[in-house]
Amino acid sequence: MSKENSQNIIARIKAIVEEKFKSEGSGHDWFHIARVMRTAEAIGEVEGADMTLVRLGALLHDIADHKFHNHSLEEGSKQARALILEVGGDIILANEVAAIVAQVSYKGAGVATPTDSLAAAVVQDADRLDAIGAIGIARAFAYGGSKNRLLYDPAIKPQMHSNFKDYATDQGHTINHFHEKLLLLKDRMLTGEGSRLAEERHMFMEIFLNQFLEEWEG
C-alpha cells in the first residue's frame, strides 16, 4: 500500500470515529481514542512497529467496546474490518486491524491477554496506559457514574475474576475496579516503552488510593 493511500485511509477512519464518539460520556470518548493513538504512536516509534497498523488499531480499538455491546468480544473486530473495507482498504489490512481490535480488551485479573503482533501489543499498552494515572482515575469514576455504581463500599471486596464472563458482568463499586484491573496493568504491559510509561502513572494511583481511604476513614 502506498503512503498516500494509507494516509487517506487513516484520515477517513479518524473522521468517522471522531464523529461517532464526540459526545460519549463514560470515559470512552473521542478524546480517549485520540490520546490512545498519540501514546500508541510514541510507543510504536520506539518499538519499531508498523505505524499504519498502530494508528488504525488505536483509532478503532473501541469502535464496539464489549461493555456497550452485550459483552460481545467479536463485534469490535467485525465493525473494524467493515470500516477498513468501506474506506478503501484491502482485505489483508482489514483483517490485520480487526485482529488488533480483538486483542486489546482486558478480560479479568486471571485471564491472559496475549497479542500476536507488535502493533497489537503497542495498541494494547497504549489503551491500558490511558486507564491508569490521573486520567485513568477520572475515567474510572466517569464510567462508574454512567453505570450508577457506588464510589466505595468496604463490605464488598475485590474479585480476581478468572474468566471474562464474571469480569464483564461484575457490578462492584469503582474502588474495587482499581484492585481488579487498574493496579494490575503496570505488570501486564507488553512493550518496554509501555512498561516505562506505566511506572509513574501507577505510583500516582497508589497515592490517590491511600489519600481516598484516609479521607474515607476520617
In angstroms, rounded to a whole number, what is the distance separating the alpha carbons of residues 15 and 59? 10
The answer to whether residue 55 scores a pLDDT higher than 90 is yes
Domain definitions of the chain by residue range: 3-217
C-beta separation of 63 from 79 below 8 A: yes
195-210: per-residue pLDDT in tens?
999 999 999 999 999 9
For residues 42-62, average pLDDT = 98
pTM (two decimals): 0.95
What CATH architecture is 3-217?
Orthogonal Bundle (1.10)
What's the confidence (pLDDT) of residue 195?
Answer: 98
The answer to whether residue 70 scores a pLDDT higher than 80 is no
For residues 41-62, average pLDDT = 98
In angstroms, rounded to a whole number, what is the distance separating the alpha carbons of residues 102 and 91? 16
Instruction: Read off the C-alpha cell for 61.
Output: 480499538
Cα 39 to Cα 14, 92, 128, 177, 186: the distances in Å are: 16, 25, 10, 23, 15
